């Protein structure tokens, strides 16, 4: 016994299970189209589509400055290795985005060397921005200084 029937424009009766089959096929088709569009958008990414904030555009891709990462070199962090006796790290211009965490690991070419940090300008938002300096390569290393 059929409880629900739907009529097509051709006068043919469709069973409820047929409707679910067509709906299932339609949803899968739409899903495949959306995935194809998204994949094409990712594959066609070029740096002319987005500004290389802390880097340069080379051969269609952003090449990030040391300490920056992401498609547009817009996220701070990464590993910074000193290659000269002195250098500098700039956190960029403007305000940080919400909940952004910036982490730099500064390494020396020579073992047991001393790294001197000079902070020319440091501005924080009370209770939100912090600077931690550790003697080692992780947050579990000895804490040397904390600025809050």
Residues 76-97: tens digit of each pLDDT: 877 676 667 777 777 666 667 6
Per-residue exposure over 50-89, b if at least 16 CB sit within 10 Å of its own CB, e if not: eebbbbebeeeebebbebbbbebbbbbebebeeeeeeeee
Does residue 55 sit within a domain?
Answer: no
Residues 31-78: tens digit of each pLDDT: 555 554 444 344 344 677 778 888 899 988 999 887 788 888 887 877
Is the confidence at residue 11, as pLDDT, over 70? no
Total domains in the fold of the chain: 1
Average pLDDT, the chain: 70
pLDDT the model gives residue 53: 83
Is the confidence at residue 14, as pLDDT, over 50? no
What's this model's pTM, rounded to 2 decimal places?
Answer: 0.53
Work out the pLDDT band at 118, boundaries 50, 70, 90.
Answer: confident
Does residue 19 sit within a domain?
Answer: no
Q: Identify the domain containing residue 141 by its residue range.
A: 2-12+76-147
Does residue 102 sit within a domain?
Answer: yes
Is the confidence at residue 125, as pLDDT, over 50? yes
> Whole-angstrom Cα distance, residue 106 to residue 88?
10
Does residue 67 sit within a domain?
Answer: no
Does residue 82 sit within a domain?
Answer: yes
Does residue 104 sit within a domain?
Answer: yes
């Amino acid at each position: 016994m059929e409880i629900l029937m739907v009529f097509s424009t051709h006068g043919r009766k469709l069973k409820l299970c047929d409707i679910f089959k067509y709906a299932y096929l339609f949803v899968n088709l739409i899903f495949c189209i959306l995935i194809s569009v998204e994949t094409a958008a990712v594959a066609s990414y070029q740096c002319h589509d987005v500004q290389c904030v802390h880097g340069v555009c080379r051969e269609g891709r952003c090449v990030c400055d040391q300490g920056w990462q992401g498609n547009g070199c817009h996220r701070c962090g990464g590993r910074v290795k000193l290659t000269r006796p002195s250098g500098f790290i700039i956190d960029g211009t403007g305000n940080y985005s919400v909940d952004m965490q910036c982490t730099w690991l500064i390494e020396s070419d020579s073992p047991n060397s001393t790294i001197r940090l000079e902070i020319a300008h440091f501005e924080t938002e009370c209770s939100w921005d912090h600077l931690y300096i550790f003697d080692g390569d992780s947050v579990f290393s000895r804490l040397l200084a904390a600025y809050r």
